[in-house]
Amino acid sequence: MSVTLDCGGRELSLRHPRVMGILNVTPDSFSDGGRFVGEQAAVEHACAMQEAGAAIIDVGGESTRPGSTGVSEREELDRVIPVLEALGRVVDVPLSVDTSKPAVMKAAAAAGAGLINDVTALRTPGALETAREIGLPVCLMHMQGSPATMQDNPAYADVLEEVSAFLGERLEAAEAAGIPRSRLLIDPGFGFGKKDPHNARLLAGLPALADWGVPVLAGLSRKSLVGRVLGREMPERLAGSVAAAALAAWQGASIVRAHDVAQTRDAVTLVDYVRRHGEDGA
């Protein structure tokens, strides 16, 4: 497995678990919709996340919360591209774009994005070819259904087996399209067409996904799983989110996607220390 990704000329080392800071430039994201829509607010938040320890910042211009219906290509471009261009001038860490649209991928790469984070795993027509052309690392995520319907009644015979098989198929499809495995990551898609027991099974089973030989990204921050298990509303999910991130890192996730960067970085740093030194105490 590659331990360093070339993200458009900015390196992302995965020798230790890293935190991906979430920057939603949308009015309707489930946790922080509307807070960072303006370019200045987005830039200030990104700089704060870098200062807090984010190793990469993920910019999203289309909400994929349960029940969302998406936005037009033009609207997503108008939200994302100015922010990416502005961030490229003020932050040093790699930038990621959270999109499934080939045109947005291409424009984002030109604007300074160094990684494509696609919740549909390059299944949109033209996405595979675009990803090959722009030459950036790509994260392939599993989602059952679409954001509009994914939480209606998700069902699996064996969620770990089915998610793993899907991600393996998408890895093969990407490689067949000319995208080397050294540029690929996978994400089981916590909360994307999964009930709470499905999410728990996937979190416990993350080591099986690592067997594909590519880095694993895990996004559990502030999600409904945390709220339902702990009985916490959105503003009260910090402790649960950090615990989930620590569990993901312990189970082998290379990147954890988080809203609360400083606290999450502390947790995964401690997990990494114990994993590396816990056997012999040397």
Among the listed residues 101, 237, 257, 265, the single catalytic one is 257
Reply yes or no on whether 106 is catalytic. Answer: no
Which of 222, 223, 237, 265 is flagged as catalytic?
Answer: 223
Q: Which residues contact 59 (CB under 8 A, 6 or more apart)?
A: 23, 25, 42, 80, 83, 84, 87, 95, 96, 97, 98, 108, 113
- Beta strand pairing call for 184-187 and 217-219: unpaired
Six token digits for residue 22: 């979430």
Q: Return d(Cα 83, Cα 59) in angstroms, integer.
A: 8
- Residue 225 in contact with residue 186, Cβ under 8 Å? no
Tell me how far apart the alpha carbons of residues 144 and 219 are, in angstroms, rounded to a whole number: 16
DSSP 25: -
Q: Is residue 257 flagged as an active site residue?
A: yes
The strand pairing partners of 6, in sequence order, are 11
For 274, counting Cβ atoms within 10 Å of its Cβ (0-12 exposed, 13-18 middle, 19+ buried), the class is: exposed
Active site residues: 223, 257
